[in-house]
Structure 1
Amino acid sequence: MARRVAQYLVSSPPCFEGATAAAAAAYQRDGAVCIRGALRGWVDAVASGIARNLASPGPHFESLPLGATSARFMNDYCNWRRIPEYESFVRESPAKALARAVMASERSIFYHEHVLVKEPLAASPTPWHHDQPYYPIDGDQLLSLWFPVDPVPLDATLLFVRGSHRHGYYAPRKFETQRNYDGSDELPTMPAIADAPHEHELLGWQLQPGDCVLFSGKTLHGAVGNASESRSRRVLTTRWMGDDARFAPRRWEISPPYTGGLQAGDPMECGLFPRLL
C-alpha cells in the first residue's frame, strides 16, 4: 500500500504551529490536522515511557508479525496510571489543550492512551478503519492525538480520507482476520480504500519528533508499513473527548473493554475517564 497510495496524497496539506483558529477550522473541515513542534519537550519522556511499557507489558499487549519478516507490530493500551511518563504526559503536556481547542469543546476529558510500535521492516500496512465504532461513545467531540517519538517519512506515515468524519460509522473489524466484529451487521463494511485510492482525497504528513496529528474518531485512516531497516516507528496515541461525548452501548465487543459504570446517554466524564481541562 505504501508506494501505491502515497502518490495519491493531497499535495502540501496544511500544517500549523499551534492550536490556532485556522488549525481548528482545518480539523473540523478535514477530520485531521497536523500541528508542528507543540510536543517537542515531551519526546524523551514519552520514549522512556514506551520503553518501560514494552519491558513490562499490560494485559492488553499484542505483538503481531507483519509481512514476510519476523518484524512485529506491537501495541498496548490503558497503562497510563502505571507508566509515570504517560501519566505526566496526559496531565501536564499541551496535549489536552490541543485536543480541546481543535474539538471546539469547553472541556478535555481523557479516554485512554495507546502505544503503537512498528519494528524495522514491519512492512505490512495497518488496515483502513476508524476508531469510534470500537468504542461505546457517540458524539462528534472524540479525537486521537498521534504523537511519534521517531521521524516518520511519508512512506511510514498515517493516512486519512479527507472529510470522512462526516460519512457515518462502518463496521469494526479484526485486524488479523479482516472480519467484521460479530454483532456489527447493522453497519456497512469498510470500503476497500487501498484498492481504489484515486477515489479519495488522502491526507498524510512527514513528521518529526514533537509534531503530532489530531484526528476525529470518525475519520477513516490506515498506516503504511515501516520500510526502514534500522528505525522503529514508535507512537503514543492519546484519546480525548469533549462536551458532547455520550456513553453508547454497542452490540459488539468494545475496545478497550471498560465502561466506567456509565449508562446509555450518560456524559463520559467519570472517575475512569477524568476531565483534565
Structure 2
Amino acid sequence: MPKLNDRLDVQSISAQDVENFNADGAVCLRGIISEEWLDVLGRGIERGLENPSPFQNIRTRPGHFGRYVTDTWVRHNFDEFRTFCDDSGIARIAARFLDLDQAQFLFDSWIAKYPGTMMRTPWHQDTGIHGASLIIWIPLDPMNKDTSLEIVRGSHAWGRHYHSERFDDVIAAAKAEGKRAAPGQREPERIPDIDRHRSEYDIISWDVEPGDCLIVNALSVHGAPGNYSTTPVRRYSCRWMEPGALLAPHGDWIAEHLLQLSTGAPKLQGAMEPFDTTMFPVLPAKADA
C-alpha cells in the first residue's frame, strides 16, 4: 500500500475547475490520481472478481456479447477500497468541490466492461440524498469518448429528481408513486429518453487516461456507452456528501442495501435521518485536516 503521506494533490485543483463543475455539473481533472493509488484500486477490482461480494452483479443480458460486471459498497468489503477512501486524500478533493473542509463518504462501486459489451450504463442521477453530493469517477484504463462517461451539461440545475432506473431497464415508477419528496424537492419523475433525443441535449464527455478523474454533481444526469473497444475498461466511483446530509424519502435503495450490510441486528435507515458516521465516515479526520 502507498504510504499514508502519499496523498493526492488537492492544491492542483484550480478555481476554474471548481467554476466549471458548478456551471456544467461535471469537470475532468487530469493526472491527479497517482499510479500507486491506481494500483491499489486495480488490485481491489481483481480481488473482487476473484471473490465476489454479495453486491456483485453480472449485468450482461442473455445472448449478448461481452461481459459487464458491477460491484457496490466495496469499501465495506475490501481493504483496498477502504484504504483508498480513508487514506489517499480523495475526501479532500470531494470537500474542495463541496466547498467544505470535510466530506462524508456515502458509497462506492466499480464497473468492468469487457470487449463487445453492447449494454450501456443507463442514464440516471445518483439521488437518494437530501443535501449536496457528488461522484468521483476514476478510470483505470484508457477510454475515448466512445466508452467514457457521458453527462448532460447543466442537468444538475434542472431542479428535477428522477426515479432510479434499474439496470435491467425496469423503472420502479409504480413503487415510487406516492413517495414523499424531501422538503424543497419535487416528487421523483420518470427520466427523459435521452438516447432517442440526443440532439436536444448538450452531452459532454472526455477522452480519459488512468490518473484522470471526473467530478460529477450527483444530480447531473449521466450514463455510459457499452465497450466497443478491443480491451476491457474498468472504472471506480466513490460518492461523497456534505456532512449531516439526510437520507431522502426516495432513497429506499440505500436503506435496502444498508440492511444487507448490517451485521448482527439489522439497521433500518429512516428517511430524513442522518447517516451513521461509523459506516459513513466524515473525512479527513480533524487531526488530519
TM-score by length of 2: 0.82
Rate the CA distance shift 1:152–1:251 in 2: closer, same or farther, 3 A. closer
The letter of the residue matching 1:201 is: D
Q: Which moved more, 1:255-264 or 1:59-68?
A: 255-264
Question: What per-residue deviation string (whole Å, max 9, x for no partner) do you get for residues 218-241 of structure 1?
Answer: 110110110112x11111111111
The letter of the residue matching 1:164 is: S
1:204 equivalent in structure 2 = 205
CA contact 1:183–1:252 (8 Å) conserved in 2 = no
Do residues 127 (structure 1) and 109 (structure 2) align? no
Q: Which moved more, 1:109-118 or 1:176-185?
A: 176-185
Rate the CA distance shift 1:100–1:36 in 2: closer, same or farther, 3 A. same
2:183 equivalent in structure 1 = none
What's the secondary structure of 1:113's corresponding residue? strand
1:193 equivalent in structure 2 = 194
What's the secondary structure of 1:273's corresponding residue? coil
Rate the CA distance shift 1:261–1:252 in 2: closer, same or farther, 3 A. closer
What's the secondary structure of 1:101's corresponding residue? helix
Number of matched residues? 257
What's the secondary structure of 1:155's corresponding residue? coil
What's the secondary structure of 1:240's corresponding residue? strand
Rate the CA distance shift 1:253–1:243 in 2: closer, same or farther, 3 A. closer
The letter of the residue matching 1:163 is: G
In 2: Cα distance, 1:76 partner to 1:142 partner: 20
In 2: Cα distance, 1:157 partner to 1:181 partner: 28
2:167 to 165, 175, 181: 175
CA contact 1:38–1:94 (8 Å) conserved in 2 = no
The offset of 1:27, in angstroms, is: 1.0
CA contact 2:65–2:118 (8 Å) conserved in 1 = no
The letter of the residue matching 2:170 is: Q
What's the secondary structure of 2:257's corresponding residue? coil
The letter of the residue matching 1:179 is: I
RMSD of aligned residue pairs (Cα, Å):
2.3
TM-score by length of 1: 0.85
The letter of the residue matching 1:274 is: P
What's the secondary structure of 1:80's corresponding residue? helix
Structure 1: which 5+ residue stretches go unaligned? Answer: 1-15
The letter of the residue matching 1:170 is: Y
The letter of the residue matching 2:197 is: A
1:239 equivalent in structure 2 = 239
